[in-house]
Chains A and B, each alone.
Chain A
């Protein structure tokens, strides 16, 4: 892995969060792959003690994987430990602030405190957490425990295990090879892909299913655990309690699901009007409230919910207004969004109308369905029809819009139009494009070349003569969406790395400024001190705000369903 944007970004993030020494180790590990301890010492030039301490810190924070060398061949002898960087973990650190905020919104201030603490320490056990939070009051202790329990139940926190500290790549390769050997004939690309997905699933299940982190509460005096009443789940929460000996870490995927949901809501609001955003939000909340629901980022669509359930999640005013006079039977927000035939219809039918629009039921063509938010909705009688939110479709559209937005801002609307025409694999030559787009040939040509240098478009030469002369061939332009996504993703990585680097410099300069003798004297005056401090904060806010927005782009491109994914980074 040469100095590509991903590596640079990871190194930068490690430096921002862990300091210079750790970032050197990170850099070495990312450039050279897995390494043994003596090798790391030699390549970084740091003292062995420092390296050891840094590695311990990085492992505690799940940034570094380690693996024992099983085989006889290879660099080290049996029993040596190799270290490797976990790229996903590093990149997720950019979102930690948002995770804390989400936890606060979902479960309250205690939860955000808990999450923040665990994020600060990498992984924690419950008693240690309570100590760190300095919770002494018994009542508060209990409420913390129950919040913790809730977080574990809804998969915001997962138990960690020895397995999660090893790189999944070894097992992945080994299992994949085993599966391939089972095949009789030469596999096609599709079969290989499905094989790979199967193996990944298996691996993921193994890594996650280690333990739930909960245990039964021993209540009887003899110490035997109380048998659960057969067929009746009475007071299930009392039965299971968080195991005090299990270490927990934050489950990033669950939080990313929140980010995804808010993106979907925002998208619906932008596309039509804010009322649609409300409807989608109700739909998503209803889907999440299904018991035992474990929403994942890789879900192609959400759980199915019936219209009736959705209507219970709509904002207040939609249900209760049934009792008032029927001049306005649905909430003002809901009626504002759709021009309904009469105002005295029941709330659920208004909702059905919304869902019809969201599912693009008036446009069954492929282009129309690609613009749908929700699955096909037949509008079944009495609110019986079930709907699901189509994450994959939405993700595809969002990715396209990110790319188009970037192209338009960078190279102008002309380039944006050209990209729109070629999107999805249509191949055209320059003349055709100019004709369809109603643009001048020169403009089209410059747009095409800029897009090509940036990696968004490619050329296909179709010769007219057997000699294949370039002068006598057609050059067809085409766009592969995947190529666009990867190109934009590396640009985003590079930008975030630049931002963080610049922030480092600004912090250095600011610290130096504050320390200067004349500034110290001046800073006695509180007004000046305020000025310097707010200046620093303003810059910090600006940079981190930009990082957050760029990271939002990264989320859309990489993390959503069928996005670019992690490649060799592997998020399992």
Chain B
């Protein structure tokens, strides 16, 4: 099989063979062999036709073309490991796993309805890395066998999210259950859950907290707090129900009736799309806050 190759093809093949599991990039191949791009491409095409080499996708550098021997499996580096599905980070899978691990740790941390916690003398009650790994395997969430480092990276993510914290292990208990080679394990690390509810700053319940034009909003400007649409919605839910409110700039004709007014308003808001439009809408109503108030009254009177 090899004998039938031309000299340059053979050189290309040898280099690819040397790259082994990792594969080799076309550009580096070109640099090593010092051949012209077209020559190399021709060789590669021929080798592919003969099913001697194949091209694989590298998850770290998706735009590169990486080649390796046909019968080899790409290394974990290239495929990205268990998190990647078709070279795409499988976010749903990861999130599912995170949730499962978190719930597992939560159950082990808090006992009963009163969220009882273990005293410090019983840290061995908290799950260790190997416990969690075992849980993931037996839970049947995935057929993929996860190595320790994968579980560890999951746990690290949970730590960054502020959901769990890691405690230095008691050492003894972990070793006994340890099946892996001793030199790989430094110390069994245990995980405890921190029931950290996010501390609300009170900012986000107010429209200003999530308002996109907050920086633009100023007392006498086109966008200001007095005529703010979002404040209308926030302050006057009952008024919308009665159809009295007339959000700035949206026109009087939207007084259809109780629910419709509320819904109509919202759909128009979402339909606005860009924030420039919303700004303009409010701009057109500058100084009109009070006037529209008057109009409201007159309409009401002749109800």
Footprint of B on A, CB under 8 Å?
3, 8, 267, 270-276, 336-341, 353, 356-357, 361-365, 367-368, 371, 398, 401-402, 404-406, 408-410, 413, 416-417, 420-421, 436-440, 488, 491-492, 494-495, 497-499, 501-502, 504-506, 509, 512-513, 516, 518, 535, 539, 542-543, 546, 548-553, 556
Contacts and interface: CB of A to CB of B under 8 A. Distances in A.
A84 B18 CA distance: 78
A402 B117 contact: no
Given A353-B119, A505-B289, A8 B219 contact: yes
B200 A405 contact: yes
A546 B119 contact: no
A25 to B, nearest CB: 17
Nearest to B111: A339
Nearest to B232: A502
Nearest to A437: B157
B119 A439 contact: no
A499 B235 contact: no
A371 B204 contact: no
Contacts of A504: 226
B297 interface: yes
B41 to A, nearest CB: 27
A501 B219 contact: yes
7 contacts: A357-B120, A417-B157, A438-B89, A438-B91, A498-B231, A501-B224, A504-B226
Given A505-B225, A552-B201, A556-B201, 4 more contacts: A8-B219, A439-B91, A509-B293, A556-B199
A495 B209 contact: yes
Contact of A513 (B83, B161, B297): B297
B201 A505 contact: no
Interface string B212-253: 001001110000111010010011101000000000000000
B160 interface: yes
Contacts of A368: 165, 167-168
A11 to B, nearest CB: 9
A270 B156 CA distance: 22
A340 B119 CA distance: 7
A365 B195 contact: no
Nearest to A406: B201
B94 interface: yes
Contact of A271 (B168, B195, B200, B219): B195
Interface string B195-211: 11111111111101110
A491 B209 CA distance: 8
A492 B201 CA distance: 9
B110 A273 contact: yes
A332 to B, nearest CB: 10
A5 to B, nearest CB: 10
A488 B201 contact: yes
Residue of B91, B156, B200, B217 ringed by the most chain A CB atoms within 10 A:
B200
Contacts of A337: 114-117
Nearest to B167: A363
Given A367-B165, A549-B200, A273 B226 contact: no
Given A405-B200, A516-B297, A550 B235 contact: no
Contacts of B255: none
Contact of B161 (A409, A417, A497, A548): A417
A487 B221 CA distance: 22
B98 to A, nearest CB: 8
A479 to B, nearest CB: 12
Contacts of A8: 219
Chain B at the A interface: SS class: mixed
A183 B269 CA distance: 63
A339 B122 contact: yes
B238 A535 contact: yes
Nearest to A542: B235
Chain A at the B interface: SS class: helix
Given A272-B195, A409-B210, A512-B293, A402 B201 contact: yes
A362 B123 contact: yes
B96 interface: no
B301 interface: yes
A550 B202 contact: yes
Contacts of A402: 199, 201
A550 B210 CA distance: 14
B120 A401 contact: no
Contacts of A499: 206, 208, 225
B194 interface: yes
A361 B167 CA distance: 10
A543 B202 CA distance: 12
Contacts of A356: 119-121
Contacts of A437: 157, 160
B210 A410 contact: yes
Nearest to A549: B202
A353 to B, nearest CB: 4
A421 B160 CA distance: 6
B139 interface: no
A546 B202 contact: yes
A346 to B, nearest CB: 15
B221 to A, nearest CB: 11
A406 B208 CA distance: 12
B209 A410 contact: yes
A303 B232 CA distance: 49
A438 B153 contact: yes
A439 B84 CA distance: 11
Contact of A363 (B117, B168, B199): B168
A539 to B, nearest CB: 5
Given A401-B196, A513-B297, A546 B205 contact: yes
Contacts of B119: 338-341, 353, 356-357
A550 B226 contact: no
A498 B167 CA distance: 45
B168 A502 contact: no
B257 interface: no
Given A271-B196, A406-B209, A409-B210, A339 B201 contact: no
Contacts of A552: 201-202
